[in-house]
Chains A and B, each alone.
Chain A
Amino acid sequence: MSQSEKTPISTALHDLHVSQGGRMVDFAGYNLPVQFEGIVKEHMQTRASASLFDVSHMGQVTVTGPDFNTTINALESLFPGNLKNLKPGGMRYTVLLNKQGGIEDDLIVTRPAEGQASDGTMFIVVNAARKDHDLALMQSALGDILQFKLHDDKALLALQGPLAATVLATLCDAPHQLSFMNSMPAQIGGIDCQISRCGYTGEDGFEISVANNKAPELAKLIYADERVKPAGLGARDSLRLEAGLCLYGHDMNDEIDPVAANILFSIGKQRRTDGGVVGADAVIDIINKGSKMRRVGLTFSGRMPVREGAEIVDNAGAKIGYVTSGTFSPCLELPICFAYVPAHLAENDTPITAMVRGKPVTGKVSPMPFVAQNYARKPGLNT
């Protein structure tokens, strides 16, 4: 039975979402709120103040090996990110590649903070729809060296927005300890959790991992601050699009490589020449020869959204590319999308024509992120 045929799993916050008026949908096998008050309102709330998202569908994995070097060497044979230079508490965005250089998943690897866990322990967060796939892949490649444990017993809450740090600082010290892409264990109201300064909205924010049975209590502590409102999957999608961030299964898949996807930063600089990692030779070859296609951001005038599946055409009307994600940007009030176009058309301001319901609409290649990212480059309240 495939995941989509199963009864969707309710997260630890399900009842809270329903009581807050969340409109629940089945997403990647999870019963999650797509919206509360409305996508545009939640989107703007996140850009102006702070929102709390339930991202418990993400796969939280603990990796255990005998010591740091053994664990890192093993993980670096699968992930092309530079993990060796992660400091305690440091986080790295990277990918899982196949032999052809296609992206099997994108994920974040975190090194536990000083003294938090045994030396050979690392944390990984993977996409909901890919967790079983990734786990099987990691286990078959590294199972004799490392143990992998998927935490179905943990929830993940994302507090996002320019006031996220200010709000969280009333509950714990983490905002004063962490800069972007750093993580630490903490207590909020006596509840043990793991706080990471990261997110998927382009705003400053935190992802808080907590035991399922404590998650509603923790969420209520955060909601006690009136500056925080609930937000759903709809706003999460429009926010990440404005921030230029890829979504696996849409903007990336196992036939798209990191060069085409424009996420080469997921591969460590030194590691591009190292070799010895699955898919690296293929990616190095693509870097040298150049990628045929390239993911770009497109903007259009007017209001008509250009969405996933729209074809990109040349002057003669022949298909030369395709749109992988798109929406109407609530902040910019114009249609934005990600599209794969031939690499020679990837320069900013190049006119690009998409077909929407059989009609051509011309926009242009535009720099990503569409809306400036607002990450905390140093610890503190980022005001």
Chain B
Amino acid sequence: MTKIAYSQDHEYVRTEASGATIGISDYAQEQLGDIVYVELPSVGTVFKKGDEIAVVESVKAASEIYAPVDCTVTEINAALEANPAEVNADAMGTGWLMKVSVQNEEQLGELMDEAAYATHIA
């Protein structure tokens, strides 16, 4: 079953039977504006919750993206190198940042569900 959880810093983790995907929320892409560059980590990198895992840059500023849970990167969205604007176009879908294996499932419970996140950004 697919579940989406959000961090305070507007990252999401989508967990499915096949694994977990990390990206930034639609609200976050909207706030950042035109995204012109995305810096992604190498596959195999191990992160602790709160580590900087990526940088998303708009025309105006660079924004750090933090690991919402302890995780290991299994795949990155290489298409963003040529087309970072995909994060604006479909942050929750084709604009995903990386796939990871979650190291600490319990941390998913510390994140917000869809309803709580909606309140968070309201």
Contact = CB atoms under 8 A, between A and B. Distances in A.
A236 to B, nearest CB: 11
Interface in B28-87: 33-34, 36-37, 39, 55, 57-62, 81, 84
Contact of B34 (A39, A237, A303): A39
B34 A305 contact: no
B37 A330 contact: no
A40 B60 contact: no
B57 A305 contact: yes
Contact of A357 (B33, B55, B61, B84): B55
A327 B59 contact: yes
Contacts of B59: 39-40, 43, 234, 238, 327-328, 330
A238 B60 CA distance: 8
Nearest to A333: B36
Contacts of B58: 39
A295 interface: no
B37 A328 contact: yes
A35 B33 contact: yes
Interface string A145-168: 000000000000000000000000
Contacts of A40: 34, 36, 59
Interface string B1-30: 000000000000000000000000000000
A18 interface: no
Contacts of A240: none
B62 A305 contact: yes
A304 B60 contact: no
Most buried by A among B34, B61, B62, B81: B34
B36 A328 contact: yes
Nearest to A234: B60
Contacts of A317: none
Nearest to B61: A307
A238 B55 CA distance: 20
B37 A305 contact: yes
**Does more than half of chain A's interface fall in helix, strand or loop, or is it mixed?**
mixed
Contacts of A305: 36-37, 57, 62
Contact of A39 (B33, B57, B62, B81): B33
Contact of B39 (A38, A238, A304): A304
Contacts of A234: 33, 59-60
A234 B84 CA distance: 19
Nearest to B82: A303
A201 to B, nearest CB: 15
B109 to A, nearest CB: 32
A267 interface: no
Contact of A328 (B39, B55, B57): B57
A328 B33 CA distance: 13
Nearest to B39: A304
A34 interface: yes
A38 B33 contact: yes
A335 to B, nearest CB: 8
Contacts of A43: 59
Contacts of B36: 40, 303, 305, 328
Contacts of B61: 307
B100 to A, nearest CB: 21
Interface string A21-50: 000000000000011001111010000000
B84 A303 contact: yes
A366 B58 CA distance: 23
Given A34-B60, A39-B34, A328-B59, 9 more contacts: A40-B34, A303-B84, A304-B57, A305-B62, A307-B62, A328-B37, A330-B34, A330-B59, A357-B39
Interface of A: 34-35, 38-41, 43, 234, 237-238, 303-305, 307, 327-328, 330, 357
Closest 4 CB pairs of A and B: A328-B36, A40-B34, A303-B37, A39-B59
16 contacts: A35-B33, A39-B33, A39-B60, A40-B36, A41-B34, A237-B60, A303-B36, A303-B37, A303-B81, A304-B57, A305-B36, A305-B62, A307-B61, A328-B36, A328-B59, A330-B34
